[in-house]
């Protein structure tokens, strides 16, 4: 029975709802800034910074700090590795749900 089921252990880094939301947003758009991520995820500034730092360390997102005129803007983008990880996570979860009927 256990052989028929896919592994139930997903990518822990992505499985956390806040980080999953960040990756999904970055998957949908080319690039976004910090405020956009805050608005869309509903995370606090501290939580968002912590989650994006973990995703950057894992190589799933890239962060670029720049100035637009005199205004600082931190821009976030999904990397190739992040895109593959999100696809893998999606397939993994669908596999589990399908195996449960």
Partner 1 sequence: MSRDIGKIEQQARRAGYQDGLLELFAAGVLFVIALGWIANPGFVGILAAFIVLYGWKLFDRVKARVTYPRIGYSRERADEPQSSAWGMLWFIAGAFLLAIVVIALSGGLAEPAEWRRAAPLISGMTLSGGFWYAAEQSGLARYRLVAALAVLLGVLLWLVGSGEDYSGVVWHLLGLAGTLALLGTWALVTFVRSHPIRELDADG
Told to check if 93 binds partner 1 by CB under 8 A, we report yes
Told to check if 37 binds partner 1 by CB under 8 A, we report yes
Largest pairwise CA distance in the chain: 61
Told to check if 30 binds partner 1 by CB under 8 A, we report yes
**Both structure tokens of 32:** 């976004």
Question: Cα separation of 99 and 101, whole Å?
Answer: 5
Give least dist CB 9 to partner 1, A: 15
Question: Cα separation of 98 and 96, whole Å?
Answer: 5
Part in contact with partner 1 (CB under 8 A); list of ranges 1-9, 53-61, 72-80: 72-80
Contact 32, 51 (CB under 8 A): no
Residue ranges binding partner 1 (CB under 8 A):
20-21, 24-25, 27-40, 45, 49, 68, 72-75, 86, 90, 93-94, 97
């Amino acid at each position: 029975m256990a052989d028929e089921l896919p592994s139930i252990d997903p990518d822990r880094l992505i499985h956390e709802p806040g980080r999953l939301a960040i990756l999904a947003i970055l998957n949908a758009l080319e690039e976004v800034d910090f405020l956009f991520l805050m608005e869309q995820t509903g995370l606090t500034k501290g939580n968002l910074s912590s989650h994006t730092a973990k995703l950057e360390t894992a190589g799933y997102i890239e962060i670029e700090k720049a100035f637009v005129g005199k205004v600082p803007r931190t821009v976030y983008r999904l990397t190739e590795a992040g895109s593959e990880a999100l696809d893998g996570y999606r397939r993994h979860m669908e596999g589990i749900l399908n195996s449960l009927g």
